[in-house]
Amino acid sequence: MAPLRFAANLAWLFQEEPTLIQRMEAASRTGFRAVELGFPYGSSAPELRAAAERHGLEVVLLNTPPGNQEKGDMGLGAVPGRQPEFREAVALAVKYAKELKCPRIHLMAGRFPTGAKRDAASTEMEATFIENLKYAADILKQENLIGLLEPINNQISDPNYFLTTPQQAAAILEKVGRPSLKLQLDIFHCQIMNGNLTQNLKTYFPIIGHIQIAQVPERHEPDSPGELNFHYLFQLLESMNYSGYIGCEYKPKGKFYFMQTGRTLLYEIDYCMLEDLASPATSKSRG
């Protein structure tokens, strides 16, 4: 079995660094070999690519532009009446993905309109999302890219987000019927909305295109106190031959970053915390 591979989500980690390029440097210095960039659109794509190459980083995920966050946008995919903006967002994301050699784009669904009743608005929003996803999937196929749908919990993180469970995402993926679209399963969100992670991972494994992690409920490091046994979950993913990256999308409790460092006889993967970001990694292997 190949060891699991981890990517630093730079929208969450290394926030002590003021720029995305500086966070890329910090991630590399800590030992990461891959990064998720979130919304990289405030930075030059060629400069980001140069930074990735300079620091030996693979860019594995970015999101479509969220829309106008000051007005409450968090994605446009399922928002009725904003299809032209969604297409512009996809075009920009594809441009960055190609420049950065990033194979995956999270196609953000967006939120229910302010004041809308969830039950009343759901049908129209799903129809809009399906229409937009079919358009995006055809573009992504031409560019040899994968589009991802991520359910985000509405209990803690975003009460108004449209896409909230793996079941909902899987049903939409089936209706869209495009192989260039996959499920992005964030274990943090899945635990909050569904629990039963073992069965959910097994059920949705055939359509999973990316995984992210954080401890529940505080969304800190995987080895911080919480509900989830990541020792078991990582072993499960290895046994299932998961070969993709695992995004570290959590709130660090300090300057401590959870990363892969090698293999042990007991568990086959040994994980450690590096305290000093300025020091070179001293681990026996960086996987």
For tokens 């469970």, name the residue. 165
Write the CB contacts of 142 (distance below 8 Å, at least 6 apart in sequence): none
How many Å is the Cα radius of gyration of the chain? Answer: 18
The dihedrals phi and psi of 146, each to the nearest 5 degrees, come to: -110, 135
Q: By CB neighbour count within 10 A (0-12 exposed, 13-18 middle, 19+ buried), where does 210 fall?
A: buried
Question: Which among 35, 143, 28 has a CA at the least distance from the CA of 97?
Answer: 143
Query: For residues 81 and 94, what is the distance between their CA atoms, to the nearest angstrom?
Result: 22
Length of the chain: 287
- The encoded tokens of residue 104 equal 């995956």
User: What is the set of active-site residues?
Assistant: 150, 249
Instruction: Sort 8 into a burial class: Cβ within 10 Å, 0-12 / 13-18 / 19+.
Output: buried
Decide: helix, strand or coil at residue 175: helix
